[in-house]
Amino acid sequence: MDTRHTSSALGEFITSRRHRLQPEVAGIQPFPGRRRTPGLRREEVAYLANVSVTYYTWLEQGRETNPSPEVLSGISQALQLDADERKHLFDLASPAPVSSYSEPRQENYDSEFLQNLVNQLRYPSFIANEVADVLVWNQGAKLVIADFDLLPQDERNMMTLLFLEPEYPERVMNWEEFARYMTGLIRASFDRYKDNPMYMERFERLKNGSKDFVRLWERHEIRQKHSAVPIHCRLPDGLELTFTIHCAAAIDNDPGLHWCFFVPTPDSGTEEKLARLLAQTTGLSSFS
């Protein structure tokens, strides 16, 4: 997996989306014979976006990095970007510096305050930082996601659990869908945090330790934290629970902190099962 920016983050992103989009889906009648280019050609995207081929080529090559909102809107429509991808495109084209990292941040968050926040909910809930380290968690999260009390501090990380814990795919029944979502979150934030050594240490560990992460990373999918995602869990005792994950960002005025809630799916029986599980925590085997 090559993460070097030989052109620009914006150029790499729109190139990946161009390769993904097939001519017939874009409303373009392909010429007879085999196409040498996967997806659309540059001139086809330029035509659909109402920009010159030269200008669009410069965007992909990183020679033009400050397109107007009108151009970005045209490209997002031409490439049929969804809401998450469109936001990512505009973020990449922002004139402000992409990276928000300046100095290594120590534990400057109020852990007691954050712990009190998550304890207000009986639904599984945790607060994580920008590198997906789980900082505080409630009893529901401990029972459903992982027994974080038993994990070493440097392994209390959602991406580490998901990709480097061999048994975790057995716990997450829709592992592929959830892993694609989590990888899309990393993709969306990569250029914002790529100068953060701790972030890159986690990234390199995933890249070197998980072929599945590499495979999903190369799909170049984008997800934002506001996107709700389902997760189907099977606990070690066989109990099955279904949730929708919601995330809130910038907790306690810190843009690096986000709060995740596992909300029981209506009519799945999860609400009742979770209530019984929380009432019977003693003796329940924990994941480690």
The amino acid occupying position 285 is S
Average pLDDT estimate for 106-127:
87
Total number of residues shown for the chain: 288
pLDDT tens profile 37-54: 778 999 999 999 999 999
Average pLDDT estimate for 205-234:
91
Q: Are 143 and 278 in contact (CB under 8 A)?
A: yes
What confidence tier does 126 reach under pLDDT thresholds 50, 70, 90?
A: very high
Q: How far is Cα of residue 281 from the mean position of the Cα atoms in its chain?
A: 31
CB atoms closer than 10 angstroms to residue 117 = 17
Q: Are 38 and 19 in contact (CB under 8 A)?
A: yes
Superfamily (CATH) of domain 9-92: lambda repressor-like DNA-binding domains (1.10.260.40)
pLDDT tens profile 155-188: 999 999 999 999 899 999 999 999 999 999 899 8
Counts for the chain of helices (H) and strands (E), in that order: 13, 5
Residue 281 has a pLDDT of 77
Residue 106 has a pLDDT of 46
Listed by start position, the domains of the chain span 9-92, 111-279
Identify which has the larger pLDDT, 138 or 198.
138
Residue 32 has a pLDDT of 60
Distances in Å between the alpha carbon of 219 and those of 211, 216, 244, 287? Answer: 13, 5, 24, 30
Residue 60 has a pLDDT of 94
Average pLDDT estimate for 122-149:
94
Residue 31 has a pLDDT of 59
Q: Give me the residue label for tokens 């081929």.
A: 53
Q: Give me the residue label for tokens 């945790």.
A: 126
Q: Which CATH class is domain 111-279?
A: alpha beta
| H or E element at residue 254 | strand 254-264
